[in-house]
Amino acid sequence: MSRQYDAIIVGGGHNGLVCGAYLARAGVKVCVLERRSMAGGAAVTEEVWPGYRVSTASYVMGLMQPKVILDLELQKYGFEVIPAAPITFPLADGAYFTMWGDPDKFQAEIARFSARDAAAYPAYRAHMLKLAPFMKQLIFEIPVDPGSGKFGDVRRLAAFAWRFRKVGAQFYDIYNLLTLSAYDYLSRWFESDEVKLVMGFFAGGGGANSSLKTPGSAYMLARGIVRDNTTAAGPSGFMKGGMGAISEAIRLSGEAHGMEVRTDAEVAEILTTNGAARGVRLASGEEIGAKIVIANANAKTTFLKLVDGKGLPEGFLRDIRSIRCESTVFRVNLALDGLPDCPSFRPEITGFHYPIQLTIAPSIDYMEDAHAQSRRGQMSDNPFLIIKVPTLADPSMAPEGKHVLSIFGGHAPYTLREGTWDERRDELYANVLRILEGYFPNIRKHILHSQVLTPLDLERIFDLPNGHVHHGEISADQMFFRRPAAQFGDYRSPIARLYQCGASTHPGGGVTGMPGYNAARVILGDRKRWA
């Protein structure tokens, strides 16, 4: 073997970089291997066209945990968030609903649609904020398998129960978040469908194969409350330099403490001897040895391809093969020679001049119909579109006077009933343009370049299984100790010295840094076993 490390991390997505940066700070000799020419996974900035830098996959910083930002001193390495104007929703009747971050402004906005709901909002907000500490604590937990029967797990389960001893009656609220639909959960508080649409949108538009009325989708309501925007880590918003600036800051932080990152280094096989990982073989044929191997690749790639199922229990393999990861989302990125007109937008009402963040999802029925079509294997006739104009926040992302318009959309299923995505990519783009023209009537004349990423493209480029941005559904049966498989939700695996640190593990996808952070804690706790 050409080199020997303490730890090799397979995949240079942001979680792999986070895990590596924490290990390097602890004195571990670690090497991160990334198959693409840049590290960052789905959190990258790419110059798709000359002068235009695009966050090609993930698009806004909303979930990165402050602890990770502060622990790794990311602000020293270029991590800078630009707060932006709030999200606006054009509704079916032509009105606009602005989702203000300021609670008083948001309550006033709710009052435009329902006085009763405006009166209920403070109690709802207080309720969710009361849940927030427990939900936040959950994402920092190393999942305990209550069914393993192992003494160590029984002891850890008791410790878990002790840490959550003050949850009390809020346990039932957490249970409701894990089991109810977002629509049903919000209906306990609000009467207006417009209010429920805006507050619950990400239950059906956050990258999961679900709708606002899908059981268990209420959990998505909690994702926004587990990040404290008041810490020294700063608020949510657009990243200066695009989402790749997050990954680059993590990389620089790790490299400052000895972490090595190799790009254009595709791993073809995780090498094992006597049931224990001992290194990797690259596609080039090079073999690299290590005391431990940490997989940031998704679970299906790791165990069905890189390990090829060898030496793995059949029950475990069955769980991995059964992970539900049918994506219904796509990306469209546009290079514009200027801002298209948006005549329906009312600056005098919103208080800002242009919809820098616009979500096209006019009604709950619109969202439900889009999801229903995808479940039948059909591309939605009327997809939802999450539109961002990052160049209004950071003009450096495009040539002077030019803009980038970024779209995250759905529902468009990975598995089509008719045709292939390579055959129907242009059809998807035409569909998106038709929807855009309803709000930006002259957008076509401003488009210089376009990039369309179907669910198949997301899989090919970013190794997202079936194009799923979370590596698998965020649902009760695929969370906590069941993520990615029973008895192996603790970042370990059936193969000795092979760990996991990606979005296939707890707490799942999104640019949070948490799988990488939690995995590093487990690995360092095991250090005496592998050092």
Tell me: the pLDDT tens digits for 337-382?
999 999 989 888 788 899 999 999 999 999 999 999 999 999 999 9
Residue 469 gets which letter from DSSP? T
Is domain 3-80+235-323+465-530 annotated with CATH 3.50.50.60? yes
Q: Give tens-digit pLDDT for 294-319.
A: 999 999 999 999 998 788 999 999 99
pLDDT at 1: 61
Burial 122-145 (b: 16+ CB within 10 A, else e): eebeeebeebbebbbebbebbbbb
Domain ranges of the chain: 3-80+235-323+465-530, 329-462
DSSP state at residue 439: T
Q: How confident is the model at residue 182 (pLDDT cuts 50, 70, 90)?
A: very high
**Which residue, 41, 39, 81, is CA-closest to 63?**
81
* pLDDT, position 2: 62
pLDDT of 154 > 90? The answer is no
Q: What is the mean pLDDT of the segment spanning 55-71?
A: 94
pLDDT, residue 162, reads 67
Residue 74: pLDDT band with limits 50, 70, 90: very high
Give the Cα-Cα-Cα angle 505, 414, 90 (nearest 5 degrees): 90
Going by C-alpha positions, the residue among 246, 206, 213, 65 that lies closest to residue 138 is 65
Stretch 261-287: mean pLDDT, rounded? Answer: 96
> In this predicted structure, what is the pLDDT of residue 361?
96
Mean pLDDT over 38-44 rounds to 97
Write out the two tokens for 38: 């840049």
Q: How confident is the model at residue 119 (pLDDT cuts 50, 70, 90)?
A: very high
Length of the chain: 531
Is the model more confident about 92 or about 68?
68
362 contact partners, CB below 8 Å, separation of at least 6: 89, 90, 91, 92
Which pLDDT belongs to residue 146? 80
Average pLDDT of the residues of the chain: 93
User: What is the average pLDDT across 126-140?
Assistant: 88
Assess whether pLDDT exceeds 70 at residue 151.
Answer: no
- Asked whether the predicted pLDDT for residue 14 surpasses 80, the reply is yes
What burial class does residue 520 get, using C-beta atoms within 10 Å of its C-beta: 0-12 exposed, 13-18 middle, 19+ buried?
A: buried
Q: Is the pLDDT of residue 241 over 80?
A: yes
406-463: pLDDT as tens digits = 999 999 999 999 999 999 999 999 999 999 999 999 999 999 999 999 999 999 999 9
Which tops the pLDDT comparison, 351 or 162?
351
Average pLDDT over residues 256-266: 98
Amino acid sitting at position 265: A
User: Residue 37 — very low, low, confident or very high, per pLDDT cuts 50/70/90?
Assistant: very high
pLDDT (0 to 100) of residue 446? 98
3-state secondary structure of 16: helix
Full-model pTM: 0.95
Residue 446 is which amino acid? Answer: H
Q: What whole-number distance in Å separates Cα of residue 381 and Cα of residue 371?
A: 10
Q: What is the DSSP string of 171-212?
A: HHHHHHHHHS-HHHHHHTT---HHHHHHHHHHHHHSSSS--T
73-87, 160-174, 197-211, 306-320 — which is least confidently predicted? 160-174
- Supply 495's token pair: 């193969």
With a pLDDT cut of 90, the percent of the chain lying above it is 79
How far apart are alpha carbons 205 and 469 in whole angstroms?
A: 12
Mean pLDDT over 222-230 rounds to 83
Region of poorest pLDDT, from 1-10, 20-29, 78-87 = 1-10
Over range 384-392, report the average pLDDT: 97
Which tokens go with 481? 């100790």
Q: What is the pLDDT of residue 286?
A: 95
How far is residue 317's CA from residue 324's CA, in Å, rounded to a whole number?
A: 14
Q: What is the pLDDT of residues 469-500, one digit of tens each?
A: 999 988 888 888 889 999 999 999 999 999 99
CA distance 127 to 444: 45
pLDDT > 70: what percent of the chain?
A: 98
* pLDDT at res. 226: 82
What would the two tokens of residue 4 be?
């020997």
The whole-number pLDDT of residue 310 equals: 80
